[in-house]
């Protein structure tokens, strides 16, 4: 019974959420679009002609934003373990980023081109066990960072979701070792109760 009440409360909050309503109005697939829009407008990381890799892309709101910004001269390659409906100017790979086959497929889609920007809003299925969820979340962030350090153009940028807690400081240290500047952002569309932050690495060394 308690779970049902919690579920109803969440649904009520979701339906009444400003960013949920705005996403429906403006045609974005989820409220997460506004997290990327805010960061991109503030830091100028999305421009015409860029090659962008979107990790953990489904349902596709970040890919929508990226595709619109890079235009037809750019390219967005999106990957997720879940299915994602097609989007203009977005190539989609369904696969588990934790597995080598998915990373190999991603590299094949890049066709020897190096991305200018890697964005990752990946998060595991939450179990409710805080320590476990945080550890699995940071593991995804670490995999995204490793991919970025290997594949990004020099001078390229990397935006990743990370959760505060154990291993966060070490992850931040590792990002600072790989990029000229690292900025921490908490977009307005991030719910106050969430301990998620977005780390933006500018200028791959």
Q: Flag whether 10 is marked binding.
A: no
25 is a catalytic site residue:
no
Tokens found for residue 108: 């094949």
Distance CA 116, CA 201 (A): 12
| Angle subtended by helix axes 168-178 and 130-151, to nearest 10 | 10
Q: Which of 75, 161, 181, 186 is catalytic?
A: 161
d(CA 24, CA 199): 27
- The residues pairing with 159 across neighbouring beta strands, listed in sequence order, are 119, 200
Is 60 annotated as belonging to a binding site?
A: yes
Q: Establish whether 62 is an annotated binding residue.
A: yes
Q: Is 80 annotated as a binding residue?
A: yes
Cβ distance 69 to 47 under 8 Å?
Answer: yes
Cα separation, 83 vs 79, in Å, equals: 9
**Residues annotated as binding site for S-adenosyl-L-methionine?**
60, 62, 80, 96, 121
Catalytic positions: 161
């Amino acid at each position: 019974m308690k779970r049902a009440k919690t579920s109803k409360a969440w649904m009520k909050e979701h339906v009444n959420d400003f960013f949920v309503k705005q996403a429906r109005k403006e045609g974005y697939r989820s409220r997460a679009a506004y997290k990327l829009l805010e960061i991109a407008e503030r830091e100028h990381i999305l421009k015409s002609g860029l090659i962008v890799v979107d990790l953990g892309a489904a349902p596709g709101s970040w890919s929508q934003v990226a595709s619109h910004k890079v235009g037809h001269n750019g390219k967005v390659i999106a990957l997720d373990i879940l299915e994602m409906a097609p989007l203009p100017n977005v190539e989609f790979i369904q696969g588990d980023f934790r597995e080598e086959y998915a990373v190999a497929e991603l590299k094949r889609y890049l066709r020897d081109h190096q991305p200018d920007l890697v964005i990752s809003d990946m998060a595991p299925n939450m179990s409710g066990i805080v320590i476990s969820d945080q550890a699995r979340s940071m593991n995804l962030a670490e995999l995204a960072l490793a991919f970025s350090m290997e594949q990004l153009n020099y001078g390229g940028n990397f935006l990743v979701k990370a959760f505060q807690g154990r291993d966060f400081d070490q992850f931040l240290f590792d990002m600072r070792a790989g990029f000229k500047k690292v900025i921490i952002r908490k977009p307005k569309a991030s719910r106050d109760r969430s301990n998620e932050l977005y780390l933006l690495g500018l200028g791959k060394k």
